[in-house]
């Protein structure tokens, strides 16, 4: 799967929803999932303890094989973002993650200024990617 193309697809959906103005919860959700694919594209392939993983799923299934109380995939991605991409990217990614989880599972009523800020932060995160 082409993570960068998936990220761009989600970013385009995010911008379309933002322009519409009626689905701020989906703006933050698509911003986060675009960010997820951008960071995974940036991080992988990765070598950890002598093992090279070309995708996040292979990393997660291999790195946490036989691990009790393994972190969720989202927490694992957050940890990778911080360790591999640094605090600046992590802060943006974590902010988008928190908004998305709130919009999806707690309160879908997101203010327009939060949607606007999500789009801006997604653009900043994308600009920080080197690949």
Residue 14 lies in a domain: no
Residue 3 lies in a domain: no
Query: pLDDT for 60-116, tens place per residue?
Result: 999 999 999 999 999 999 999 999 999 999 999 999 999 999 998 888 899 999 999
Quickly count: other Cβ atoms within 10 Å of residue 124's Cβ.
11
pLDDT at 106: 85
Query: pLDDT for 19-40, tens place per residue?
Result: 999 999 999 999 999 999 999 9
Nearest-angstrom CA–CA distance, 61 and 86: 23
Nearest-angstrom CA–CA distance, 20 and 36: 23
Residue 20 lies in a domain: no
pLDDT at 104: 85
Nearest-angstrom CA–CA distance, 40 and 59: 11
> Which domain, by its residues, includes 114?
25-128
pTM: 0.95
Q: How many domains does the chain have?
A: 1
Residue 4 lies in a domain: no
Ramachandran sector of residue 112 (left: φ over 0; alpha: ψ -120 to 50; beta: rest): alpha
pLDDT at 81: 98
Residue 87 lies in a domain: yes
- Is 80 exceeded by the pLDDT of residue 1? no
Residue 17 lies in a domain: no
């Amino acid at each position: 799967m082409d993570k960068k193309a998936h990220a761009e697809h989600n970013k385009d959906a995010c911008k379309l929803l933002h322009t519409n103005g009626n689905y701020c919860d989906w703006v933050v959700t698509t911003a986060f999932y675009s960010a997820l694919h951008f960071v995974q594209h940036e991080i992988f392939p990765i070598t950890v303890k002598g093992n090279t993983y070309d995708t996040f799923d292979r990393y997660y299934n291999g790195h946490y094989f036989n691990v009790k109380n393994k972190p969720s995939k989202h927490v694992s991605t957050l940890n990778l973002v911080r360790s591999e991409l640094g605090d600046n990217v992590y802060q943006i990614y974590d902010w988008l993650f928190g908004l998305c989880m709130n919009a999806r599972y707690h309160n879908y009523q997101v203010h327009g200024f939060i949607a606007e800020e999500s789009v801006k932060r997604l653009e900043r995160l994308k600009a920080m990617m080197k690949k």
